[in-house]
Amino acid sequence: MTVTNVHKDPDALTMAITVELDAPVERAWQLWADPRQLERWWGPPGYPATFVDHDLTVGSRATYYMTSPEGQKHFGWWEVLAVDPPRRLEVRDGFADDTGKPNDDLPVGTMAVTLAERGDRTEMVITSHFPTLQAMEQVLAMGQEEGMIQAIGQIEGILADTPSS
Amino acid sequence: MLTYNHMVVGLLQAERADRVFHALADGTRRDIVVRTLEGEHSVSALARRYPMSFAAVQKHVAVLEEAGLVTKQRKGREQLVRGNVDTVRLAAQLLDALEAVWRERADRMTEILADPNGGTP
């Protein structure tokens, strides 16, 4: 089982998820540090992520977009709050307009990642925190909207017995 | 995405998260939830707020009701809509949805690490 623990604190609007990976810490760190690898797991299926800027130094911003099957781009960003390769990364994350400029109307959460050695494996803990319930609601709804709509579309396609892509 | 959810989160939990997710994936529905958490609104009062038909708003309310995010009560000729969730419960549901997102990401990380090309093309 990849995910070994999930701790959710609804009062603190925080979730910590522990992932055990079959790779040394240095290798697992590349999942975050190498934008080409990051792109392969960040977006939901059918919505590949493209990182335009990706510089994991404190104060830097990473900008990315996810492309919908219709070709529409949805921009997001990270601002690096702390980094200690290959063990720790902490970012603020939020959404951006269609030029990649941060959208201040949308809420911002934080995400902290730690990596620790477990023999020749790595334990990765990702802690997400939202300042308000509305922030969590919006981040989740917006980040996943297309993926959900697509998934529902796929189910309808299957029910109608039409071939799906 | 649903397939991943079903595998790793379990059918019931995933379906519940998906319903809440889908219900909140629409801007009008999010707005209705926020408004009706603040106080009861009739469907017709809500319908006046949005540039769409009464029937369209009624349909949004039905989706929210199905997801358990609002309740509807008939009072005379009016249908009153009230946000149904205490904030902690909504937070818990949203955290369920967030968990599903990260479980999928963890699966993809594992696939990349198992890739003999080492992830970098």
User: Which domains are present in chain A?
Assistant: 3-159 (3.30.530.20)
Write down the pLDDT at residue A74: 81
Tokens read off for A18: 């522990």
B121 → closest Cβ in A36, A128, A147? A36
Task: Say if B63 falls within a structural domain.
Answer: yes
Which candidate, A115, A107, A112, places its Cα nearest to that of A82?
A112
Residue A119 buriedness (CB in 10 A; 0-12 / 13-18 / 19+): exposed
The interface residues of chain A toward chain B in range 107-136, judged by CB-CB distance below 8 A, are 124, 126, 128, 133-134, 136
A148 → closest Cβ in B21, B99, B113? B21
CA distance B113 to chain A (A): 7
Question: How far is the C-alpha of A153 from the C-alpha of A134, rounded, in Å?
Answer: 27
Residues of B in contact with A45 (CB under 8 A): 1, 4
Query: In this model, does residue B86 exceed pLDDT 60?
Result: no
Q: State yes or no: ipTM above 0.90.
A: no
Are B9 and B102 within 8 A, CB to CB?
no
Question: How far is the C-alpha of B53 from the C-alpha of B55, rounded, in Å?
Answer: 5
Strand partners, A19: A3, A124
Q: How many other C-beta atoms lie within 10 A of the C-beta of residue B17?
A: 22
- Domain total for chain B? 1
Task: Say if B90 falls within a structural domain.
Answer: yes
Question: How far is the C-alpha of B92 from the C-alpha of B83, rounded, in Å?
Answer: 16
The CATH number of the domain holding residue B66 is 1.10.10.10
pTM for the whole thing? 0.61
| Per-residue confidence band for B98, with pLDDT thresholds at 50, 70 and 90 | confident
Regarding predicted confidence, which is higher, B111 or A99? B111
Q: How many other C-beta atoms lie within 10 A of the C-beta of residue A26?
A: 13
Contact between chains at B113 and A27 (C-beta distance less than 8 A): yes
pLDDT-above-90 percentage for chain A? 42
Residues of B in contact with A125 (CB under 8 A): none
Contacts of A111 (CB under 8 A, 6+ apart): A78, A90, A91, A93, A126, A127, A128, A129
Domain enclosing residue B74, as ranges: 2-104
A148 → closest Cβ in B25, B30, B88? B25
Question: How far is the C-alpha of A21 from the C-alpha of A60, rounded, in Å?
Answer: 27
B52 touches chain A (CB under 8 A): no
Query: In this model, does residue B102 exceed pLDDT 60?
Result: yes
Contact between chains at A30 and B119 (C-beta distance less than 8 A): yes
- Count how many residues are written for chain B: 121
